[in-house]
C-alpha cells in the first residue's frame, strides 16, 4: 500500500546538488516505478535472484553499472553525490537490487579503478562499466571474524607466471552471479596481519574457482549472498591488483569513502517505510468518527513525526559526509558516524512501521515486513555498528590527542 511520498527524497534542497543530479534522481525513480517496485515483493518471496539480475542488466544499459568508473574506461565518471542518489532510490524501490548494484559500483569497482595497474583497468573496466561482467568483493572468511579480516587465512603463492589461491570466502554478496571477484589473500606468509595481504582480480572461469551455495538469509532474499572457494585457483600474474604491504591499508582507506553507499540504501528503505506508514494510516478509519487514524490519533502522529526526524537527520549525516569527501575535507569520523546512525535508524523506523500497520505490518502480504528484514543488513555489512562506533571514537580521541589505551 503506497501512500505517496511524505518525505520526497529530493526535498533536502542540498545546495551542492546540480540540475544534473536532480535529473538523475527522476530518471532512476521513473525506472524504479516501472521496473523494480512492481516485482519487489514477488522476487523476495521466491528468492528470485535471476529476476534481480535482469533488472541489474537493464540498469546497466542505462549506464548505472559504471556510474563512478572514469569515462576513459567506459564509465559515467560521476561523483559520490550521484552514487548516493542511486543508492537511496534503489533502497527505496528494492534493497535486493540496491545491494547487488552497491557491491558492483562500490568497493569492488573502486578497488580496480583506484588501485589496479593501468593494464588491468583497461582490460576489465569497460565490461564492468557496461554491466556485462558483474563484480563481487571477497574479503570475509567464515573461520576468521570479519572484524579481524586482516588475519585472513586465504593464501596466494607465486608459482611461475601464476598465483595459486587457496581459501574460502563467506557472506559474499553477488557470490553466485559474479563474473569477477576482487579477492583478498595472504601473499606474504611471513606476515600474519594486514601487511601480508594482496588483492587479486579473479575471473569466475579461472581453474579452481567454485561457488559453493547461496546462504539462506533474513532479508534481501532476491540478491545473491553466499560462499565461494578457491582450490589451487590459478590466477595470472598480471591479475594482481595490489601487492603487500600496502594493499590492505590502501583498500581500507578506500572503504571509508565507499561507506557512503550502505547508509544511503538504509535511508532509502527507511523513507519507504515512512511513506508506506502514512499511506496506511491515511486509509485506516476509526469506525466511530469516520476519521482516518492519521487524522484522529495524536500518538500515531507523534510516531510519524519521530520517524521523519530520524530519517531527515540520517540523510543529512550521509550527505554532509559526502560533501566533505567531494570538497577534500577530512570525512572519516563523519562517514563512520553517519553509517552506524543510518543503520540503527532504519531498524527503528521499519520496526515502528510494522507496529503502525498492525496485523498488516506483521503479514508478509505488505512490504513493511520485508523492509524490516531487509533493513537489518546495513549494521552488519560493510563494517558492523560496533566497528563503526570504534572508528568514530578513535577519530574523536585522535583529534583531541587522547590515547585509547
Ligand atoms: C548482507 C551482508 C552482506 C555482506 N557482503 C559481504 C561482501 O560482499 N564481501 C565480504 O567480504 N563480506 C561481506 N559481508 C560480511 C561482513 O562484512 C561481515 O559479516 C562483518 O564484517 C562482520 O564479520 P562477522 O560476521 O565475522 O562478525 P564478527 O567479526 O564475528 O563479529 C560478531 C559481533 O561482534 C562484534 N565485535 C567484533 N569485534 C568487536 C569489538 N572489538 N568490540 C565490540 N564488538 C565487536 C561485531 O560488531 C559483531 O556484532 C556481508 C555481510 C552481510 C550481513
Render pLDDT for 55-68 as a digit per residue (tens, 0 to 9).
999 999 999 999 99
218 Cβ closer than 6 Å to some ligand 1 atom:
no
Average pLDDT over residues 225-243: 98
Q: How many residues does the chain have?
A: 405
Instruction: Report yes or no on 8 lying in a domain.
Output: no
- Ligand 1 atom with the shortest distance to the CA of 149: 21
**ipTM score for this prediction:** 0.98
Can you state the percent helix, strand and coil of the chain, rounding each to 5? 55, 15, 30
Confidence check: pLDDT of 178 > 50: yes
Output the CA angle 87-92-93, nearest 5 degrees. Answer: 100
Which residues, 6+ apart, have CB-to-CB distance to 288 below 8 Å? Answer: none
Q: What distance in Å separates the CA atoms of residue 28 and residue 89, rounded to the nearest whole number?
A: 7
Looking at the structure, tell me whether residues 366 and 394 fall in a common domain.
yes
Cell numbers 554532509 correspond to 320
Asked if residue 359 and residue 274 are part of one domain, the reply reads yes
Q: What percent of the chain has pLDDT over 70?
A: 97
Residues 144 and 152: beta-carbon distance below 8 Å: yes
How do residues 388-405 score in pLDDT, each as one tens digit? 999 999 999 999 999 876
Whether the predicted pLDDT of 140 surpasses 50: yes
> Cβ(170) to ligand 1 under 6 A?
no
Q: Is the CB of 172 under 6 A from ligand 1?
A: yes
Q: Ligand 1 mean position to 377 CA, how many Å?
A: 10
Q: Cα(278)–Cα(291) distance, rounded to whole angstroms?
A: 14
Q: Is 147 in the pocket of ligand 1 (CB under 6 A)?
A: yes
Q: Is residue 207 part of a domain?
A: yes
d(CA 218, CA 158): 39
Residue 235 lies in a domain: yes
Q: H helices of 94-242, where?
A: 95-105, 107-110, 118-129
**Domain region containing 72:** 19-129
The answer to whether residue 13 sits within a structural domain is no
pLDDT confidence of residue 273 = 97
For residue 69, the model assigns a pLDDT of 98
Whether residue 7 lies inside any domain: the answer is no
Grid look-up 578497488 returns: 111
Nearest atom in ligand 1 to 147's CA: 29
Q: How many domains does the chain have?
A: 3
Q: Averaged over 316-345, what is the pLDDT? A: 98
Domain boundary among 245, 279, 309: 245
Assigned C-alpha cell, 126: 569497460
pLDDT at 2 > cutoff 50: no
Q: Which of 109, 138, 139, 140 to mutate to test the pocket of ligand 1 (most atoms within 8 A of CB)?
A: 140
pLDDT reported for residue 59 = 98
State the CATH number of the domain containing residue 45: 1.10.540.10
Residue 195, domain CATH: 2.40.110.10
Mean pLDDT of the region 294-299: 96
Q: Is residue 304 part of a domain?
A: yes
- pLDDT over threshold 80, residue 5: no
Distance 36 CA to ligand 1 centre (A): 29
In a domain, 220, yes or no: yes
3-state secondary structure of 367: helix
Mean pLDDT of the chain, nearest integer: 96
Nearest partner of 169 among 150, 148, 184, judged by Cα:
184
- The pLDDT confidence band at residue 1, using thresholds 50, 70 and 90, is very low
Distance (angstroms) between ligand 1 centre and the Cα of 140 equals 8
Cα torsion 257, 262, 265, 267 to 10°: value is -80
Q: Which of 184, 213, 245 is the last residue of a domain?
A: 245
Pocket test for ligand 1, best of 97, 105, 147 (most atoms within 8 A of CB): 147
Whether 273 and 336 map to the same domain: the answer is: yes
Distance 146 CA to ligand 1 centre (A): 5
Same-domain status, 343 and 286 = yes
Per-residue model confidence (pLDDT) at position 354: 98
Residue 94 clears pLDDT 60, i.e. is over it = yes
In a domain, 2, yes or no: no
Amino acid at each position: 500500500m503506497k501512500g505517496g511520498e511524505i518525505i520526497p527524497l529530493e526535498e533536502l534542497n542540498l545546495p551542492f546538488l546540480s540540475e544534473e543530479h536532480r535529473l538523475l534522481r527522476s530518471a532512476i525513480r521513473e525506472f524504479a516505478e516501472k521496473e523494480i517496485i512492481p516485482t519487489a515483493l514477488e522476487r523476495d518471496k521466491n528468492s528470485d535472484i535471476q529476476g534481480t539480475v535482469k533488472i541489474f542488466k537493464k540498469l546497466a544499459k542505462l549506464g548505472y553499472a559504471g556510474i563512478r568508473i572514469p569515462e576513459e574506461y567506459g564509465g559515467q565518471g560521476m561523483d559520490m553525490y550521484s552514487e548516493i542518489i542511486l543508492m537511496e532510490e534503489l533502497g527505496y524501490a528494492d534493497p535486493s537490487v540496491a545491494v547487488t548494484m552497491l557491491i558492483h559500483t562500490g568497493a569492488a569497482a573502486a578497488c580496480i579503478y583506484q588501485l589496479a595497474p593501468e593494464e588491468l583497468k583497461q582490460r576489465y573496466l569497460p565490461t564492468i562499466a557496461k554491466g556485462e561482467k558483474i563484480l563481487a568483493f571477497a574479503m570475509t572468511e567464515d573461520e576468521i571474524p570479519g572484524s579481524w579480516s586482516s588475519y585472513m587465512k586465504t593464501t596466494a603463492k607465486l608459482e611461475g607466471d601464476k598465483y595459486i589461491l587457496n581459501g574460502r570466502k563467506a557472506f559474499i554478496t553477488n557470490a553466485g552471479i559474479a563474473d569477477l571477484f576482487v579477492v583478498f589473500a595472504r601473499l606474504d606468509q611471513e606476515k600474519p596481519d594486514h601487511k601480508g595481504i594482496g588483492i587479486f582480480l579473479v575471473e569466475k572461469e579461472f581453474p579452481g574457482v567454485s561457488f559453493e551455495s547461496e546462504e539462506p538469509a533474513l532479508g534481501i532474499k532476491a540478491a545473491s549472498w553466499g560462499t565461494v572457494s578457491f582450490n589451487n585457483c590459478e590466477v595470472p600474474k598480471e591479475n594482481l591488483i595490489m601487492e603487500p604491504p600496502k594493499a590492505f591499508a590502501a583498500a581500507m582507506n578506500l572503504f571509508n569513502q565507499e561507506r557512503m553507499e550502505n547508509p544511503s540504501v538504509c535511508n532509502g528503505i527507511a523513507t519507504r517505510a515512512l511513506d508506506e506508514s502514512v499511506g496506511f494510516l491515511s486509509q485506516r478509519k476509526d469506525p466511530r468518527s469516520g476519521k482516518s487514524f492519521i487524522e484522529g490519533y495524536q500518538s500515531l502522529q507523534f510516531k510519524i513525526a519521530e520517524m521523519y526526524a530520524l530519517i531527515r537527520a540520517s540523510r543529512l549525516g550521509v550527505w554532509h559526509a559526502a560533501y566533505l569527501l567531494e570538497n577534500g575535507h577530512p570525512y572519516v569520523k563523519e562517514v563512520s558516524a553517519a553509517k552506524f546512525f543510518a543503520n540503527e535508524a532504519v531498524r527503528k523506523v521499519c520496526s515502528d512501521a510494522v507496529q503502525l500497520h498492525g496485523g498488516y505490518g506483521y503479514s508478509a502480504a505488505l512490504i513493511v515486513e520485508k523492509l524490516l528484514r531487509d533493513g537489518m543488513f546495513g549494521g552488519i555489512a560493510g563494517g558492523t555498528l560496533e566497528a563503526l562506533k570504534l572508528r568514530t571514537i578513535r577519530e574523536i580521541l585522535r583529534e583531541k590527542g587522547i590515547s585509547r589505551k
